[in-house]
Amino acid sequence: MSGNARPFEEHPNFVDAWAEMEKLLETGKVRSIGVSNFSINNLEILLQHAKVGPVNNQVEVHPCHPQYDLKQYCDNKGILLSAYSPLGQGNPLFFSDPDFAKVANDHAVTPAQVAVSWLVERGIPTLVKSSKVDRMKANITFVKLTPEEMRTIDGIHKKPGMHLSLLTPYHTSDGIWLGWTYEQLGWPMTAGGILRN
Ligand SMILES: NC(=O)c1ccc[n+]([C@@H]2O[C@H](COP(=O)([O-])OP(=O)(O)OC[C@H]3O[C@@H](n4cnc5c(N)ncnc54)[C@H](OP(=O)(O)O)[C@@H]3O)[C@@H](O)[C@H]2O)c1
C-alpha cells in the first residue's frame, strides 16, 4: 500500500487489481492468488466481482485480535485465513496477562510457543518471525493445549484494554492505517487500533 488510499469509486481499486491477478492464473505460471488485510466487508465486495476467489487472506491474529468473525467467514467461503504478527510484531501485550503466562509456565515453554500453538490449534497457518535461530526453532515447536487452556486464551481479549491491534506504530490517532481509514478497510476499530467488539 502506498500510504495514499483512493476512494473505492476511483480506479484502479482492489477489484481492478484482482482482475489483473486472475489473468496471471491463465498463464499457468501462478497456481493460486490471495489477499491480505481484507475484512469481511471488502471480501464481500471482491467476491461479487471475482471470477476466482482468493485462496488465502493473511491478517493480524493473536490473542488481543483473535479475528473470530473473519475466521468463520473465511471458513464458510473456503478461504484459508493465515496469521501475521502472532507476537504483536515485538509488542506482545498478552505475554504479561497472568492467565496466559500460567499456560506457558504450566507447560514449561515460552509465551511465544503458546501463542503460535493456540493459532495452530485453531487451524490458522502462522507466520512468526525472529532474527535469532534458537527462537526460530522454539517458535515452531508446538505444545498441545487443553480445551480449557484454549478457552482461557480465547477469552483474553475480553479483559479491559486487551482487545486491539498491536501494530500501534501503523495506526494514527485519527484512525488511519497506512493511508486507509478503518471504514475503507472495513475494520471495526476506533482510533489507535482499538477494537469495538
Ligand atoms: N501481510 C501483511 O500485511 C503483513 C504485515 C506484517 C507482517 N507480515 C509478515 O508476518 C511475519 C511475521 O510478522 P512480524 O514480524 O510483524 O511479527 P511477529 O512475528 O509477531 O514478531 C516479530 C518480533 O517478535 C520477536 N520475537 C520472535 N520470537 C520471539 C520470542 N520467542 N519471544 C519474544 N519475542 C520474540 C522478534 O524479535 P527477535 O528478532 O529479536 O527474535 C521480533 O521483534 C513476517 O514474515 C512479515 O513479513 C505481513
- pLDDT per residue as tens digits for the range 26-75: 999 999 999 999 999 999 999 999 999 999 999 999 999 999 999 999 99
Q: For residue 90, report the phi and psi dihedrals to the nearest 5 degrees.
A: 85, 10
76-86 average pLDDT score: 98
Q: Write down the domain spans for the chain.
A: 14-195
Domain topology for 14-195? TIM Barrel (3.20.20)
Q: Which atom of ligand 1 is nearest to the CA of 128?
A: 19
Q: Is 119 helix (H, G, I), strand (E, B) or coil?
A: helix
Give the separation between CA 189 and CA 172, rounded to whole angstroms: 12
Mutation test residue for ligand 1: of 85, 109, 166, 180, the one with most atoms within 8 Å of CB:
85
Q: Give the distance, in angstroms, between the CA of residue 37 and the centroid of all CA atoms in the same chain.
A: 7
CA of residue 130 to ligand 1 center, whole Å: 6
Give the separation between CA 150 and CA 160, rounded to whole angstroms: 19
9 band by pLDDT with thresholds 50, 70 and 90: confident
Q: Look at residues 65, 62, 61 and name the one whose alpha carbon lies nearest to residue 81.
A: 61
**CA angle (153 as vertex; 149, 158 as ends), nearest 5:** 140
User: For residues 41, 45, 46 and 52, what is the CA-based torsion angle, rounded to 10 degrees?
Assistant: 110
Which pLDDT tens digit goes with each residue over 96-149?
Answer: 999 999 999 999 999 999 999 999 999 999 999 999 999 999 999 999 999 999
pLDDT of residue 1: 46
Cut 0.85: pTM above it: yes
167-182 average pLDDT score: 94
Which residue lies with its CA nearest to atom 43 of ligand 1?
A: 90
- Grid coordinates representing 9? 469509486
Kindly list the protein residues whose Cβ atom lies closer than 6 A to any atom of ligand 1: 36-37, 58, 84-90, 110, 112, 127-132, 135, 139
Q: Is 106 helix (H, G, I), strand (E, B) or coil?
A: helix
pLDDT at 195 over 70: yes
